[in-house]
Amino acid sequence: MEIKLAKTAGFCYGVNNAIKTVLDLREWADKKIYTFGPIIHNPSMVNHLSELGVVSVSNIDEIQPPAYIVIRAHGVGKDVYDEIEKRGFTLIDATCPFVKKIHKLVNEKYKEGYVIIIAGDSEHPEVKGISGWCDNRAIVVNNVDELASLPIVDKKVFACAQTTLSYENWLSIAEALKGRFKHVETHNTICSATIERQKEAEDLSKEVDVMIVIGGKESSNTRKLFEICKKNCERTYKVETPGELPMLNTKEINKVGVIAGASTPDWIIKEVVSKMDSINRTQNEENFGEIFEDSMVALKTGDIVKGKIISVGENEIFVDLGYKSDGIIPLEESSVDEVNKPHDIYKPGMEIEVFVEKLNDGEGNVLLSKKKADYIKGWDILENAHKTGQPVEAVVSEVVNGGVIALTRGIRIFVPASQVSDKYVKDLGNYLKQKINVRITEFNKNKNKIIGSQRILLEEEKERLANELWNSIEVGKKYEGKVTSLAKFGAFVDIGGVEGLVHISELSWHKIKHPSEVLSVGEEVEVTVLEFDREKEKISLGYKKPEDNPWNKAASKYEVGDVIEGKVVRLVPFGCFLEIEKGLDGLVHISQISNKRIAKPDDVLKVGQKVGAKIIEMDLENKKIALSIREVNPIDPVEEIVEEKEAVNGNETDPAEEIPTEHKEELSVTLGDVLGKIDITDKEDSAG
């Protein structure tokens, strides 16, 4: 029996991209990972991701922050994006690029007033997602018959297709739409990979005796493939796993065709084909023994051999060695370090090298060690790395006197304290369990001695980045950088191998006492190049942004005649400065403080005092605002003294009211002078 596998079987681009997105995210994610709906229509893959800690949810309310949420390959409606943004989750979009284009098309046509019609399955998540880009008002039809119930409208109609719709179905729907509506625009949005896969299914099913279609039960494209194959080959079977394969008498079958949906992982396809091949060999009793013996790999204890991972458990890894028995790697022999778990490193279908410990572990399995194979091969790899200067990745396992020990393939590399970083490291313990890249600087296998340096690599990388930066730097260019240190006069920021200074005056639009009020060491910031000198290797950077300048906003917020409340921030002989808002001060001239003459502002005002003032002049170009206190609530020192005297005498009448107007000011000064010379003893004597 010949088994013929379709060339297009397995993941399409969009599905592969979605799975890769999730797996890559796991490498660096610092928060829980969720997918909105199953990432693809394949339960085996979804279960695999679930085992890795990736949770599939159908409602955003199920998500516990903080979290990453990955949009499924089939896509979602605009309302889901809006809700995710509203709740502050980190969004990772794994929507198939072809589906993404449909979203854009539908949204544009809907805004132009078109009635949207989607050819496809109304319950399919892809179709629901597309409809979400036209306020869920799309009309969905799955075949020509469903068009009959549609009302005839005089509006413009835009029609598109679910990416996995059969091409023949789309052609018939598109043709019928043109005959039913006056203004119809159709756009074939069936994925080209889908068309190619359906065409191969059509051709292959015509030349075989049995057709096997592999894919998830909920997968639309798998269902379409099954329908196409069934028309040409009566004995067509749809399976999700190898265990669902039908019992076949291979002696009566000449050729079997195998095709898989776009969401079917490679390892499931291989397992199905492998099982069919096994059935074929088993049923062929005349040649089975010979075939079996010829296919067996000769193993002996101490060999290093290649094998393919069958499955990954919590405590062991099963490996296909091509031997009569499978191999088992116990967890402690898997080279899994403290940083990673078996699922992080090993995947079904992965080819690895292993050391044969025993041909029979007592239960009929071959006992293997990945750790020993790595160790033996590791010395050769490290020796070559020493000769070529190739960097080596290792994990810091312990801190020792004078440095750290880093492990790679079970081999210890000593990294001196001075070579751990290109900067002074106060506590080497911070590197424990961390991955580092080192260059082998000393190698002696006979003495079991290897010394490495991360510092050399960091300095080389820093030099490379610095050269790139100096060759491209220009005034006004923005950079993403990291704050490396703070000083009284400003903050130093690394913008890619070179440090620049943000002067304290460039950190904020209002006055600050220390840069720590704005930035902290290690913070990621965006800075702008103000000036630079390559010869002196100096760069001046700006952090505060023009759009935050309160003087730029003042024109739209204030105008002459406005009354504001300000705080006295500085007193000078000619007046005082009021803080209108952070970074925006105005001057009250001494003549605008009171209706009375005052000798100096601090006679009636003090720093920190809040007062009302009117804006009497604005010169924003020169950053000047003139204010008047006296036009709002003048501060009159004479009145304050008179009130004090009245409180002492118990006299409620103001003597100044009986004095002619032209003499009031003169008398006020005289009374003030007199009262200023009277001490408390004189007052008590008078009262007596």
How do beta strands 210-214 and 236-239 pair?
parallel
Query: Does 96 or 247 have the greater pLDDT score?
Result: 96
> Span 97-102, mean pLDDT?
91
| Whether the predicted pLDDT of 3 surpasses 80 | yes
Instruction: Quick: pLDDT tens for 488-533.
Output: 999 999 998 889 999 998 898 888 889 999 899 999 999 999 999 9
Instruction: Quick: pLDDT tens for 358-392.
Output: 888 776 778 999 888 888 888 988 999 999 999 99
| Whether the predicted pLDDT of 312 surpasses 90 | no
Q: Helices 220-232 and 192-205 sit at what angle, rounded to 10 degrees?
A: 30
> What is the per-residue DSSP string for 532-561?
EETTTTEEEEE-S-GGG-HHHHHHHH--TT
CA 10 from chain centre, in angstroms, equals: 28
CA 594 from chain centre, in angstroms, equals: 59
Lookup: tokens for 201: 């299914």
- In the predicted model, what is the mean pLDDT of the chain? 84
What length does the chain have? Answer: 688
Query: Does 335 or 72 have the greater pLDDT score?
Result: 72
Long-range contacts of 86-92 (CB under 8 A, 24+ apart): 87/60, 87/63, 89/60, 89/63, 89/65, 90/31, 90/66, 92/21, 92/25, 92/68
The Cα 169–Cα 154 span in angstroms is 25
The Cα 140–Cα 149 span in angstroms is 11
The Cα 631–Cα 627 span in angstroms is 9
> Which amino acid appears at position 57 of this protein?
V
Lookup: tokens for 452: 């490495």
Residue 126 annotated among the catalytic residues of the structure: yes
Query: Does 401 or 47 have the greater pLDDT score?
Result: 401
Q: Which of 302, 366, 371, 373 is nearest to 333 (CA)?
A: 371
> Which amino acid appears at position 686 of this protein?
S
> What is the per-residue DSSP string for 431-499?
GTT-EEEEEEEEEETTTTEEEEESHHHHHHHHHHHHHHHHHH--TT-EEEEEEEEEETTEEEEESSSSE
pLDDT band at 393 (very low <50, low <70, confident <90, very high): very high
Query: CA 179, 184, 187, 189: dihedral to nearest 10 degrees?
Result: -70
pLDDT band at 682 (very low <50, low <70, confident <90, very high): very low
Q: Which of 364, 361, 377, 242 is nearest to 306 (CA)?
A: 377
Query: Does 115 or 659 have the greater pLDDT score?
Result: 115
Instruction: Quick: pLDDT tens for 135-186.
Output: 999 999 999 988 877 777 778 999 999 998 888 899 999 999 988 888 999 9
How do beta strands 449-453 and 435-444 pair?
antiparallel
Instruction: Quick: pLDDT tens for 557-571.
Output: 898 999 999 999 999
Q: Which of 503, 583, 512, 514 is nearest to 543 (CA)?
A: 503
> What is the per-residue DSSP string for 163-225?
TTS-HHHHHHHHHHHHHH-SSEEE-----HHHHHHHHHHHHHHTS-SEEEEE--TT-HHHHHH
The Cα 226–Cα 54 span in angstroms is 30
What are the start-end ranges of the H helices in 206-332? 220-232, 266-283, 285-295
Contact status, residue 235 vs residue 282, Cβ threshold 8 Å: no
Q: Which of 75, 33, 74 is nearest to 51 (CA)?
A: 33
Contact status, residue 382 vs residue 411, Cβ threshold 8 Å: yes
Q: Which of 1, 2, 8 is nearest to 214 (CA)?
A: 8
Q: Which domains does the chain possess?
A: 13-98 (3.40.50.11270), 99-190 (3.40.1010.20), 193-291 (3.40.1010.20), 297-374 (2.40.50.140), 389-458 (2.40.50.140), 473-548 (2.40.50.140), 550-628 (2.40.50.140), 637-687 (no CATH)
Give the count of beta carbons closer than 10 Å to the beta carbon of residue 290. 10
| Whether the predicted pLDDT of 597 surpasses 80 | yes
Instruction: Quick: pLDDT tens for 450-476.
Output: 999 999 999 998 888 888 889 889 998
User: What is the predicted pLDDT for the residue at 283?
Assistant: 60
> Which amino acid appears at position 202 of this protein?
E
Cross-strand partners of 514: none
Integer distance in angstroms from the first to the last C-alpha of the chain? 134
Contact status, residue 505 vs residue 557, Cβ threshold 8 Å: no
Instruction: Quick: pLDDT tens for 189-247.
Output: 988 788 888 999 999 999 999 999 998 888 888 889 999 999 999 999 999 888 788 87
Instruction: Quick: pLDDT tens for 279-303.
Output: 776 665 444 444 444 445 567 888 8
Q: Phi-psi category of 497—alpha, beta or left, where left has phi over 0 and alpha has psi -120 to 50?
A: left
Residues 6+ apart with CB under 8 A from 272: 212, 214, 239, 241, 242, 245, 258
Per annotation, catalytic residue among 51, 85, 108, 126: 126
User: What is the predicted pLDDT for the residue at 340?
Assistant: 64
Q: Which of 557, 506, 509, 510 is nearest to 529 (CA)?
A: 506
pLDDT band at 443 (very low <50, low <70, confident <90, very high): very high
pTM confidence score: 0.41
| Whether the predicted pLDDT of 425 surpasses 50 | yes
The Cα 56–Cα 45 span in angstroms is 12
Query: Does 410 or 516 have the greater pLDDT score?
Result: 516
Instruction: Quick: pLDDT tens for 61-92.
Output: 898 888 999 999 999 999 999 999 888 889 99
Q: Which of 552, 566, 553 is nearest to 627 (CA)?
A: 566
Instruction: Quick: pLDDT tens for 605-634.
Output: 999 999 999 999 998 888 899 999 999 988
Q: Which of 124, 56, 129, 134 is nearest to 98 (CA)?
A: 129
User: What is the predicted pLDDT for the residue at 655?
Assistant: 42
DSSP conformation class of 350: -
